[in-house]
Amino acid sequence: MASRLIVLALAAAAAASPVSRIQRRQAASVIASCTKPGVVALTFDDGPFDYTESVLDQFAAAGFKATFFVNGDNFGNIYDHASTVQRAVAEGHQIGSHTWSHPDIATLSSSALEEQMSKLDDALADIIGKTPTYMRPPFFSWNSQNLATLGALGYKVIHADVDTLDWQFDYPASIANFNNGIDAGGSIVLAHDVHAGTVNTLVPAMIASLKARGLKSVTVGECIGDAPVNWYKGGSTDPEPEPTPTPTPSEPSEPTPTPTEPSEPTSTPDEPSEPTPTPSKPTEPEEPYEPTPTPSKPTEPGYPEESNYPEEPTPTSSTPTEPGYPEEPTPTPTKPSKPPHSCYKKRQLKQ
């Protein structure tokens, strides 16, 4: 009996232990294609960066949505592009994690991977008030220990079944890779919003190709039928922050107080009994004509002078400003002092 009580006590302690709960969590699921018909998920890695605003402009014009797997410190620092990330969320795009600094997570311990994820989560909580539940491993590289750690942290792992290979800067080949992949039934597409050639050449080509096929680009969450409430942890459950309320013009300050009515001629009607007006009083009728103070009208009836809508960022022309294809290996106007990580090495689609 005593031994049974000990076993039960140990079981109860294990159930109460947060470590045991984490260990029992399932490994993260790996998702490589959409489940919803008629849609494609265009995804972009390694940003935000200087060209991301142009991607947003083009998607706004097309009525398409995308998913951005962002880094904290790679081609740019996320805090330097905070307004771009906020705009992406406000316009209905999805933000996912691509780790803080783009390491090969297969080389990391569980604690180092947790640090990469939580550092980016902290930045996104500061910037958009919530943190993603979708992540993409850099280089499409991971191992079973990574999946266990990411599952314990509550992430889905997003792969892709169409890789444009745009990091190779051969844009005609990237367009062909995209079209062939869609023809073969692919639906989650990988590109990078940190390359000028991708933004100026590949993005318009992908949008035009999807429209010609009667397909639409949506977020990864939508393409797998996952409700927006599940895309983020904490903060608002809506992927789009509440739109800025339309400033209701402050009610025109009460219609101008009726100017003090010109005091009626001095004779007061108190004495109706006297029909005959006494001629001795009409000497003071001027007093009411004291320049009636013109009630200071609000210069504009109370409407705010500026409507305080967030300024729309100056649209970056989506038309290539330079001939598109081979110009690429000098795209980055402001390279970080340490070379950024991109998918320049060991990039393969896992089957």
- 232's tokens: 């983020």
- DSSP letter for 288, please: G
First to last CA, the chain: 53
Phi, psi for 189 (deg, rounded to 5): -110, 135
Q: Are 34 and 101 in contact (CB under 8 A)?
A: no
In one-letter notation, the amino acid at residue 338 is K
Catalytic residue among 81, 93, 98, 192, which? 192
Catalytic residue among 45, 50, 166, 193, which? 45
Strand partners, 40: 217
The single residue listed with the structure tokens 């809506």 is 238
- 282's tokens: 């009409």
Instruction: In whole angstroms, give the CA distance from residue 348 to residue 186.
Output: 15
Instruction: In whole angstroms, give the CA distance from residue 292 to residue 284.
Output: 17
Give whole-number Cα distances, 84 to 81, 128, 167, in Å: 5, 11, 22
- 44's tokens: 């972009």
Q: Is 166 noted as a catalytic residue in this protein?
A: no
3-state secondary structure of 156: strand
- 130's tokens: 């919530």
Residue 259 burial (CB count, 10 A): 10
Q: Is 192 noted as a catalytic residue in this protein?
A: yes
Which residues touch 207 (CB under 8 Å, ≥6 apart)?
A: 58, 59, 62, 64, 217
* Residue 199 CA from chain centroid, whole number: 18
Residues labelled as active-site residues = 45, 192
